[in-house]
Amino acid sequence: MTKKNLEQAIVNCLRNGHKAFIPYIMAGDGGLDQLKDRILFLQAAGATAIELGIPFSDPVADGPTIQQAGERALQNGATLSNILAKLEEFYEEVDVPLVLMTYFNPLLSYGLSNFAEDCERLGIAGIIVPDLPYEESEVLRDALKETDLAIVPLISLTSPKERIAKIVRAGEGFIYAITVNGITGAREGMNKDLDEYLHTIKELSNLPVMVGFGISTPEQVEKMNGMADGVIVGSAIVEAFREQDLELISSLINASKNKVIS
């Protein structure tokens, strides 16, 4: 596995005539004993990669659904350490790239070098750290430079073009384009300025551009796929697992396969 593994998984979708789909789940929500079944279900359902949330006590980017999932996970005793230990039990059965979404403090508590070593052993493909801005990310880049973990950058709607260009140049795996101003969570409508924003990112980036935040229905998946290389869906997936609505999860994933590239 290389740093290109995550990027290549998305590119393969595009070559096969459909867009990528990355579901987000909160590790430990429902108990860590559910983690294997949920990951393998998403893999079998056709997920391109899986974003695995690490619960944190102060999740500033997360909306109510994911915050509550994180609280449940913490109450279940989920920590970065025992999440990685659980992954070690079945990681050889996972064929799709796994991307950890974690705040920076758990990484510091774990130890950056220990984290790099353990993720490399488990074949983790990428990491997203929403509270670590590009300008302060050098310490993490140094810790992971000898590993195959891609550091996936987040780009907000309010980022000026000059800053987008810097972030994109340092990006790995894919570019995570945030489609709303604010926190995660389902929304009825999308921002009207998305076309220009995504056009700017795609113009500057050699990496696939995935969109996320606020996407919760198959119709929104198809609409956003018309503007980007794929979508990331979090709150709707988290809630569907809680409600045991596996059919909804499958319909969200299948919506990306409905968008044929012309």
**Residue that the structure tokens 């996970």 belong to:** 73
Q: What is the pTM of this model?
A: 0.93
| Residue of 29, 37, 58, 62 marked catalytic | 62
| CB atoms inside a 10 Å sphere around CB 192 | 7
Predicted confidence pLDDT, tens digits, the chain (262 residues): 456 699 999 999 999 999 999 999 999 999 999 999 999 999 999 999 999 999 998 766 677 899 999 999 999 999 999 999 999 999 999 999 999 999 999 999 999 999 999 999 999 999 999 999 999 999 999 999 999 999 999 999 999 999 999 999 999 999 999 987 654 544 444 455 788 999 999 999 999 999 999 899 999 999 999 999 999 999 999 999 999 999 999 999 999 987 444 3
Contacts of 80 (CB under 8 A, 6+ apart): 54, 102, 106, 107, 109, 110, 115
CB-based contacts of 187-191 (< 8 A; 24+ apart in sequence): 187/214, 187/216, 190/214, 190/220, 190/223, 190/224, 191/157
Residue 247 annotated as catalytic: no
| Residue of 7, 29, 37, 51 marked catalytic | 51
Architecture of domain 4-254: Alpha-Beta Barrel (3.20)
Residue 51 annotated as catalytic: yes
